[in-house]
């Protein structure tokens, strides 16, 4: 039994935070599924690396030379997403729709436009035409009502770019409200993608800027503590009275998904954001290097998310006392995340123009 299968036995599904054409046309993703991978996530940065950073798509791009770069990108991306969804169809079927999903993000240019996000998500849902698709929608102020409307319409949503407990509560509430309006909420599947390592990177920098002993002792702890509080809130919402009527109708809880789980600081364990975030009915989406490291030397500690939750609350509450505005950090991280994906998308489109014959950058 692989360590990924041990995680599944502990109630957590591991999804692969990467997609590229060669892992779909060769044995790559199929082998990963054999090892215990149960889903795939993508984002504009991943597609930018795959398409702009390789020649795997050049032949098809040449054939799409008459299309504008955004349409050309979507043609490539949809083909990959459909192929991945077909490979994962067995997981989807055998799990009764619990796993086997592939995520595709709406255009990051629409992150602050509710109506356009809803329209783009519905269009992608119809174009991809796979029951195991999840459409990624950012948890911005404009994204929250879009998440509710899409859920009400029966579309599987991966709500992304959450960094704070407030972000999480807004997303979970939007899912519940949408599910209450859905014709058949028992068909819904959704995850709330809560980002982890970026929280430590930003908080550590702030703690180091303060520079006191009390501040420096908190480095490398905020992200896991923050995630534990989000998971506690998940339990309060989805195991509590707020979800009772929906549970009676066969509605699945919206699982928390841990995103950004590669360790950025080389002095920290390269598997800390897997080992410390194990909990029932959760997902961890991790990039290839992190998954390889965990398969090699990770430790499965069931329900590690439920350990020392009171201490996690104390730690987050103490950050302002040592001079760190944690609320401002998490708010800024969401703004930066949207900007980062938009920049990657712009770089990707420019690379597509450069690769298309007869096009000028």
Helices (H), the chain: 3-9, 21-25, 28-35, 44-52, 58-63, 69-87, 89-94, 114-128, 143-152, 165-181, 197-210, 213-216, 222-238, 244-248, 272-275, 288-297, 309-318, 326-355
Selection from 224, 223, 146 nearest residue 190 by Cα: 146
Rounded to a whole number of angstroms, the CA Rg of the chain reads 20
The β-bridge relationship of strands 157-162 and 190-195 is parallel
Active-site pick, 136, 221, 228, 355: 136
What's the CA gap between 357 and 266, in Å, rounded?
42
- Is 221 in the active site? no
CA torsion, points 126, 128, 133, 137, in degrees to nearest 10? -70
Selection from 188, 197, 147 nearest residue 167 by Cα: 147
What's the CA gap between 184 and 13, in Å, rounded?
25
What's the CA gap between 181 and 192, in Å, rounded?
19
Are 123 and 155 contacting, i.e. CB atoms less than 8 angstroms apart? no
Tokens matching residue 274: 């897997």
What's the CA gap between 94 and 315, in Å, rounded?
41
Which positions ≥6 away from 57 have C-beta within 8 Å?
21, 50, 51, 76, 355
Round to the nearest angstrom and report the end-to-end CA distance of the chain.
50
Are 136 and 161 contacting, i.e. CB atoms less than 8 angstroms apart? no
Crossing angle of helices 222-238 and 197-210, in 10° steps, is: 130
What's the CA gap between 55 and 70, in Å, rounded?
18
The catalytic residues are 136
């Amino acid at each position: 039994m692989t360590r990924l299968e041990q995680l599944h036995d502990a109630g957590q599904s591991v999804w692969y935070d990467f997609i590229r054409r060669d892992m779909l046309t060769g044995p790559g993703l199929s082998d990963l599924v054999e090892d215990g991978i149960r889903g795939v996530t993508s984002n504009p940065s991943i597609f930018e690396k795959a398409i702009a950073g390789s020649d795997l798509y050049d032949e098809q791009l040449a054939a799409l030379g008459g299309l504008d770069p955004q349409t050309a990108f979507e043609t490539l991306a949809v083909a990959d997403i459909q192929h991945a969804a077909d490979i994962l169809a067995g997981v989807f079927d055998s799990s009764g729709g619990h796993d086997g999903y592939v995520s595709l993000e709406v255009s990051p240019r629409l992150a602050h436009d509710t109506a356009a996000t809803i329209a783009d998500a519905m269009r992608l849902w119809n174009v991809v035409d796979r029951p195991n698709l999840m459409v990624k929608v950012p948890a911005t102020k404009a994204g929250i009502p879009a998440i509710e409307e899409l859920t009400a319409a029966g579309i599987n949503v991966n709500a992304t770019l959450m960094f704070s407990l407030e972000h999480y509560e807004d997303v979970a509430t939007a899912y519940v409200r949408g599910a209450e309006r859905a014709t058949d909420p028992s068909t819904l599947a959704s995850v709330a993608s809560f980002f982890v390592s970026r929280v430590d990177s930003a908080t550590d920098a702030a703690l180091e800027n303060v520079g006191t002993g009390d501040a420096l002792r908190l480095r490398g702890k905020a992200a896991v503590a923050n995630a534990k509080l989000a998971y506690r809130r998940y339990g309060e919402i989805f195991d509590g009275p707020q979800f009772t009527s929906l549970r009676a109708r066969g509605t699945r809880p919206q699982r928390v998904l841990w995103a950004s789980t590669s360790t950025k600081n080389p002095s920290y364990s390269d598997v800390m954001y897997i080992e410390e975030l194990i909990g029932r009915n959760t997902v961890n989406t991790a990039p290839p290097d992190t998954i390889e490291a965990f398969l090699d030397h990770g430790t499965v500690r069931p329900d590690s998310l439920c350990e020392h939750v009171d201490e996690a609350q104390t730690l987050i509450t103490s950050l302002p006392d040592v001079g760190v505005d944690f609320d401002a950090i998490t708010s800024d991280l969401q703004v930066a995340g949207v900007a980062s994906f938009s920049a990657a998308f712009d770089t990707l489109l420019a690379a597509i123009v450069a690769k298309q014959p007869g096009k000028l950058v």
